[in-house]
Copies of this chain bind each other. A is one copy, B any other.
């Protein structure tokens, strides 16, 4: 029922902004006549990219960085905003170079994740990458990040023991492992090695 008659968006207005965030109020009218005002965070148009880098030893490359939201260091996959006009796989390689000091020659788009979609329009594109090589790009990080290798076979322990708490990283790791285990596997794109040494 509801799928066939989604609510009508009567009005959208920005009610608060900061450097990073934009909050919108949305007037909705549902098919049963109920009208409600929702608030949501506007996501950036291009979305974010989350990278699942796999070594030849079947380890995942994780980074540990200070998270201001939870006020502690968090272990998770390399990630960041896709810049305007930047292709998703290019963004994946850039973030991997900035945060972990690796480039990748084989990349495959996996899936799009949302985060609390009732309240947020943010979309995160998950990319699996392999055939890693050393390459570091300067990012805007305030301090170097620790790089941690974790066996892909052992992600249950990573998640269930709380070594990683970030929902997108945990979801992407399980999904990548499942996709890599299918007979067809991911659909790889080959990128030439970039000579970057900053």
Interface on A for B, CB 8 Å cutoff?
1-3, 6-7, 9, 15-21, 23, 25-26, 28, 30-32, 34, 36, 38-41, 43, 64-74, 110-124, 142-144, 146, 156, 159-160, 162, 165-168, 170-172, 174-175, 178-179
Residues of B within 8 Å of A3, CB to CB, are 64, 73, 146
Who on chain B is nearest to A73 by CB? B3
| Neighbour of A165 across the interface among B7, B117, B119, CB < 8 A | B117
**How far apart are the CA atoms of A168 and B165 in the complex, in Å?**
10
Given contacts A6-B73, A165-B112, contact A171 B159 (CB under 8 A): yes
Please, which residue of chain B has its CB at the minimum distance from the CB of A36? B142
Which listed residue (B6, B68, B144, B172) contacts A28, Cβ 8 A?
A: B68
Additional A-B contacts beyond A21-B41, A69-B120, A69-B121 (17; CB < 8 A): A6-B72, A15-B18, A16-B16, A18-B39, A28-B66, A31-B143, A34-B143, A67-B114, A68-B118, A69-B117, A111-B160, A111-B162, A114-B166, A167-B167, A170-B171, A171-B174, A174-B174
